[in-house]
Structure 1
Amino acid sequence: MAIFHMSFSNISAGKGRSAIASAAYRSGEKLFDDKEGRRYFYARSVIPESFILTPKNAPEWASDREKLWNEVEKNDRKSNSRYAKEFNVALPVELSESEQKELLTKYVQENFVDQGMVADVAIHRDHPDNPHAHVMLTNRPFNPDGSWGLKAKTQYIKDENGKQLLTKSGFPKQRKIWLVDWDKKEKINEWRKNWALSVNQFLAQKNIPDRISEKSFVDQGIQETPTQHEGINSQRKNRKAFNQQVRAQRNAQAKYHNLDEKIRNHEHFDALTDELSFSEKHTISHLSQQLKTYVDLEHLDDKQRMLFNWKNSLLIKHAV
């Protein structure tokens, strides 16, 4: 079942974060931090699929992960410098790994790289039910000659006669003019909307009926219980098998709550249940009696995946 999860954050010096350490953790590579004189490496059980996308006017070294983020930190030396913008996004489990990469690459290229940002992409597949990507984005554009550009410029405020206006303290009045709109809330909302559109178009091309929306259930007018996205922070806190089972069952209960919205045809249900075991048939029959209607499985395009997930839910139910 495709879900929408997309969160943005900043990697900044003010929060004590390091662009090199962040890139090393997400990519799974060993990266040397020139400023700190140390190497960062975080071993991962499943090696991430990582790559870098660069705009046309970026220098060659921007494709080198270690060089890129060292240059970012050298250029932005203030104590509150924001080294990078990052987003974490869930990838549709209905797609193959190559299709997930194709979808993500096209989206990142069109929405960020074509706008002048370097994108450092890392796809994590530590858990088959939670494929997701971390994308680190440069906050500063490049000039046509490949040098770092400005994010903003200072504009001095003058009166109608062109005379410089002063503050009460006698300093020239001025305002900051942003040269990029990458930090605006409206832009982030646009990126979120574009991701939902990209996913839905891709799923439609593959004849997969699932759709996602960047809007909340309330905004969509849907009375459903949302399932939880199991991100990296959640994984860290819930590594024990029991906690994982509890979380999985909660998601299963949320899906059961929405079954009455998924009733379509009796004939397809009967044909599909012929492949289930006696125990599974009994469980579905019991659930149908509770809902006082047939349970529709029409929208599950992969029978094997459905059977696998259903068996897992039964195991979890018995274990908890």
Structure 2
Amino acid sequence: MAIYHLSVKTFSRSKGQSATAAVAYRAGAKVECEREGRTHDYTKKGGVLHSEIFLPDDAPDWAADRQQLWNKAEEAETRKNSTVAREFEVALPKELDEQQRIELVQDFAKQIVARHGCAVDAHLHDDDSRRTNQNHHAHIMLTTRKLEQDGFTNKTRELDQKQSGEVVYWREQWAKTANEHLRDNGIEKHIDHRSLKDQGLEREPTIKMGVNASALERKGIKTERGDHNRAVTAYNPDKLNQHLTTQYNQALEFHNKLNFIKRRLPEIKRDLAEKQPNLYQSLDDLGIPTAEPIEREHHELQRAEQTQSVSTGLDRPVTPECHSNERGRGLSPTGSIESHKLGQGHTEARRAEDKTITSTAPRNQVERPQKSLEPSEQLEAPTAQDNAVEANNEQNRADEMAQKRLKVQAFLAKCDEQAEKYHKHKLSQLRDKAQPLLAEINNLKDKKPLNPFKTKAWQEQLDNKIEQYDKIKSVHDDIKDKGVTAEDRQAVYTIAYKRNPKAYDSIHAMNKEVRTYDKEQAQHELEQRQAQLAEVREQREITKGIDKGGMER
């Protein structure tokens, strides 16, 4: 893409400027100023490739003379602080040759004359012709008044009013005109008057070098402005995104490794507790969580959802009979995504209890005998009294399970409440940490130094504070979006176990009983449905046999 640049300048007597001096310098010519009584001679100036005056159709003949034109323009302004001239400075596409650039400036100058009725004096420059990267540009000087047959008349104030939109119009018009000339000359490039943000580009704009910085750069001395423009030019979003993606993947891999170590830490500590109790105590004194989480099986979760048990939030302890690896001792990752995970505790009595599997036969279970019983071996049918006793026992057991289920549910509700408080406490700590940084950032913004040599240090300090604030805000927003996590609940369970191991183990035992009872009930209901289906099939077979026999007769 070719470079776009259009800036609007004014020349005012209040700044000690004059139209005759400005045009003499840009034209590389000699102009005598009648108002000042002095001669401005810039005939030795180099880099002026072309100069040309453009006038309205009814302009007087004297306007074609540069010296008379600008002396008359000075004469038309009577105030000591008058604006005596205006200038459009534009960058010319280097893709065009010299004649094509002249034609582009001629086209644009004629449009200005037609729209505002003023006189235009255009000058094409190439100030840095000694460098490989030539600086093709044009200075288009405009009179501040309309030029008519009788001379200069009304001011072109529309160019001084921001609300008129004239400057914005000419910025866009320059881009359109330049793109037309590029296209007409078979060049597949274009310029865009819009800002980089409006174009959807992420890179920063380059800054103007200025006379002093340009002179130093030509001598091979690097300047801050030159370094900035070189960095902007070298910006490659695709390469940067690739680099950032690689760094992100490396950070993600490191994060996963840390999570793995965090999940295995309780298991390692348990081994240390058995083999090296002194070292275990040292780790415990550091405040590292020591509760042993329990991993819930996927099929148990599905079963609990089907039976709509309120104990879905609790975990079943893993026993050696269920797993043959090191997790058979009831250990699981600390960072498990399952909610409501309870630890088993650390006592030998607890582990000894987990090694025993209690198997309770489902009530009223219908079993098919492996072989026919002899008449002497037939069992007597249960009496009505036996059935009543059994029903009463079942009701008592159901009531007992309901009470235990409520206790477990109350414990989990309390843990959830504590986890919510812990989550809010973490957010509050981050906000307290970020508030002073935000105050420092606002204070720095209000105290931007006027000295340009101190701006760099000020900007670095501001960027450092903003970076610190953004990091804290990112962590805060991440924690807030995730809400109460499994890690938060695990921390609460750890504290609960440390405070009262016996009470914790009691709740755990209640949960185990409730889950076993729910499993028995589900199994019983399944067998009842199977028995009913078998009875219906048998009845259908009998009915089908009777119907078939009647048809044969």
Question: The TM-score by the shorter chain falls in which range?
Answer: 0.5 to 0.7
**Corresponding residue for 2:135?**
130
Cα shift readout 1:219-249 (whole Å, capped 9, x = no counterpart): 22211233345565753565533238983x6
Matched residue type, 1:112 = V
Question: Is the Cα contact below 8 Å between 1:113 and 1:119 reproduced in 2?
Answer: no
**Corresponding residue for 1:304?**
none
Question: Is the Cα contact below 8 Å between 1:28 and 1:48 reproduced in 2?
Answer: no
**Corresponding residue for 2:96?**
95
Task: Return closer, same or farther for 1:230/1:130 CA change in 2, 3 Å cut-off.
Answer: farther
Pick from 221, 239, 249 the counterpart of residue 200 of structure 2. Answer: 221
Shift of 1:217: 0.3
Matched residue type, 1:87 = F
Structure with larger Rg: 2
Shift of 1:110: 1.2
**Corresponding residue for 1:149?**
153
**Corresponding residue for 2:234?**
256
Cα shift readout 1:194-220 (whole Å, capped 9, x = no counterpart): 001111222222232222111110122
**Corresponding residue for 1:31?**
31
Instruction: Name the CA distance, whole Å, in 1 between partners of 2:236 and 2:190.
Output: 15
Task: Return closer, same or farther for 1:104/1:92 CA change in 2, 3 Å cut-off.
Answer: same
Task: Return closer, same or farther for 1:252/1:206 CA change in 2, 3 Å cut-off.
Answer: farther
Instruction: Name the CA distance, whole Å, in 1 between partners of 2:24 and 2:221.
Output: 30
Question: Is the Cα contact below 8 Å between 2:26 and 2:48 reproduced in 1?
Answer: no
Question: Is the Cα contact below 8 Å between 2:209 and 2:225 reproduced in 1?
Answer: no
**Corresponding residue for 1:203?**
182
Instruction: Name the CA distance, whole Å, in 2 between partners of 1:30 and 1:142.
Output: 23
Matched residue type, 1:181 = E
**Corresponding residue for 1:181?**
158
Shift of 1:252: 4.6
- The number of residues matched between the two structures is 237
Question: Is the Cα contact below 8 Å between 1:4 and 1:90 reproduced in 2?
Answer: yes
Shift of 1:49: 1.5
Instruction: Name the CA distance, whole Å, in 2 between partners of 1:95 and 1:45.
Output: 21
**Corresponding residue for 2:324?**
none
**Corresponding residue for 2:222?**
243
Task: Return closer, same or farther for 1:227/1:87 CA change in 2, 3 Å cut-off.
Answer: same
Question: Is the Cα contact below 8 Å between 1:58 and 1:142 reproduced in 2?
Answer: yes
Question: Is the Cα contact below 8 Å between 1:26 and 1:48 reproduced in 2?
Answer: no
Cα shift readout 1:260-291 (whole Å, capped 9, x = no counterpart): 49xxxxxxxxxxxxxxxxxxxxxxxxx9x989
> Which structure: greater strand fraction?
1
Cα shift readout 1:75-119 (whole Å, capped 9, x = no counterpart): 212111111111111000111011111111101101334531111
Give 3-state SS (helix, strand or coil) of 1:242's partner: coil
**Corresponding residue for 2:60?**
59
Question: Is the Cα contact below 8 Å between 2:24 and 2:31 reproduced in 1?
Answer: yes
Give 3-state SS (helix, strand or coil) of 1:23's partner: helix
Q: Which moved more, 1:43-52 or 1:182-191?
A: 43-52
Aligned pairs for 1:295-314 within 5 A? none
Give 3-state SS (helix, strand or coil) of 1:217's partner: coil
**Corresponding residue for 2:13?**
13
Give 3-state SS (helix, strand or coil) of 1:142's partner: strand
Give 3-state SS (helix, strand or coil) of 2:74's partner: helix
Instruction: Name the CA distance, whole Å, in 2 between partners of 1:146 and 1:237.
Output: 49
**Corresponding residue for 2:116?**
115
Identity, in percent, stands at 36
Instruction: Name the CA distance, whole Å, in 2 between partners of 1:238 and 1:79.
Output: 39
Give 3-state SS (helix, strand or coil) of 1:213's partner: coil
Instruction: Name the CA distance, whole Å, in 1 between partners of 2:46 and 2:244.
Output: 42
**Corresponding residue for 2:271?**
none
Q: Which moved more, 1:80-89 or 1:207-216?
A: 207-216
> Which structure: greater helix fraction?
2
Cα shift readout 1:52-84 (whole Å, capped 9, x = no counterpart): 111111111111111111111112121111111
Give 3-state SS (helix, strand or coil) of 2:151's partner: coil
Question: Is the Cα contact below 8 Å between 1:7 and 1:89 reproduced in 2?
Answer: yes
Instruction: Name the CA distance, whole Å, in 1 between partners of 2:35 and 2:158.
Output: 29
Matched residue type, 2:147 = F
Give 3-state SS (helix, strand or coil) of 1:139's partner: strand
Give 3-state SS (helix, strand or coil) of 2:121's partner: strand
Matched residue type, 2:104 = L
Q: Please, what TM-score do these two structures have when normalized by structure 2?
A: 0.40
Question: Is the Cα contact below 8 Å between 1:27 and 1:48 reproduced in 2?
Answer: no
> Could you list the runs of 5+ residues in structure 1 that have no partner in the other structure?
152-178, 262-286, 293-320
1:81 aligns with 2:82: yes
Instruction: Name the CA distance, whole Å, in 1 between partners of 2:101 and 2:69.
Output: 25
Task: Return closer, same or farther for 1:76/1:54 CA change in 2, 3 Å cut-off.
Answer: same
Question: Is the Cα contact below 8 Å between 2:213 and 2:223 reproduced in 1?
Answer: no
Q: Please, what TM-score do these two structures have when normalized by structure 1?
A: 0.66
Shift of 1:258: 3.3
1:71 aligns with 2:52: no
